[in-house]
Amino acid sequence: MPESVSLAEISRLSGLDKSTVNRILNTWVNRGYLKQNGKRGKYSLDTKFLDFSGALKRRSRIRDKALPYLVKLAQITRESVILSILNGRYAAYNEMIPSDQPLTIVPAEGTRVPLYCTGVDKILLAGMTDKEIENYINSVKLESYTPSTITHPDSLRALIAIIKKEGMVIDCEENIPGINNIAAGVKDAEGKTVAAVGVLGPSVRLTRQLMTEIIPEIKKCSLDISRELGYKT
């Protein structure tokens, strides 16, 4: 595949007229996805596409390193285990190991959840810089999904401070009624939080007491994955 393509070639391959293709290409150039070699030159990928490719490779690497530890955690807890990675203003579930029990919580891979209302998501929020956290809190509407959802900015700030200190968080029915979640952060070689490991299940089974009991297991899992990514304690 050629590294650069002309407007005429793109028009021929797409079946669109040149004026339509030209408008589309100009938009992509302005947004940094494509670059044009000279005023009438050919088009090639620019930095935003390269950044996107790099992000996909990083996500794949984290998932591959994490998978054996996620499976082990699922076997120990007998609840569903998820790996969540930051995706803009949301957290996206990158991997899921379902529980082997009859009543099982299985979010679809790629599910996006606001950063303020589940355990794995708040872990990622707490892993941001103070400035990034403030920008997020000041720009997002804290909507209520259940009676337990945190909707006051100061309450969210206070909880984030605790998460930063403890490295984990317990969530009781903050996003969906009847579902509990406990989560811990995964760090890379630079000490940056790049993912979150969560155990989730029905609140009738994954009680607050049980979540407290498995804190050492989820912390060990997240630390093992972090070490695989080069993190040193």
Q: Give the percent of the chain with pLDDT over 70.
A: 88
* Residue bearing the bigger pLDDT, 16 or 87: 16
Give the model's pLDDT for residue 62: 86
Question: Cα dihedral sign for 210, 211, 215, 220?
Answer: positive
The residues facing 211 across adjacent strands are none
Give the model's pLDDT for residue 27: 80
Please work out, in degrees rounded to the nearest 5, the angle formed at the alpha carbon of residue 147 by the alpha carbons of 145 and 150. 70
- At 69, the pLDDT band (50, 70, 90 cuts) reads very high
Give the model's pLDDT for residue 59: 64
CATH architecture of 53-228: 2-Layer Sandwich (3.30)
**Residue 128 half-sphere exposure, CB side, CA atoms within 13 Å?**
23
Which residue is it, tokens 């009991």? 213
Q: Give the percent of the chain with pLDDT over 90.
A: 52
Q: Is the pLDDT of residue 163 over 90?
A: yes
What span, in angstroms and rounded, lies between the C-alpha atoms of 200 and 220?
17
Lowest mean pLDDT: which of 38-42, 170-174, 199-203? Answer: 38-42
Q: Is the pLDDT of residue 53 over 50?
A: no
Lowest mean pLDDT: which of 36-50, 57-71, 83-97, 124-138? Answer: 36-50
pLDDT tens-digit profile of 190-219?
999 999 999 999 999 999 999 999 999 999
Give the model's pLDDT for residue 39: 66
Q: Which of 5-14, 96-105, 134-143 holds the top average pLDDT?
A: 134-143
Average pLDDT over residues 105-117: 75
Which residues 6+ apart lie within 8 Å of 170 measured at CB? Answer: 119, 180, 181, 182, 208, 211, 212
CA 116 distance to own-chain centroid: 13
Q: Is the pLDDT of residue 25 over 90?
A: no
Mean residue pLDDT of the chain comes to 86
Domain regions of the chain by residue span: 7-45, 53-228
Give the model's pLDDT for residue 1: 45
- Secondary structure class of 175 (helix, strand, coil): coil
Q: Is the pLDDT of residue 108 over 90?
A: no
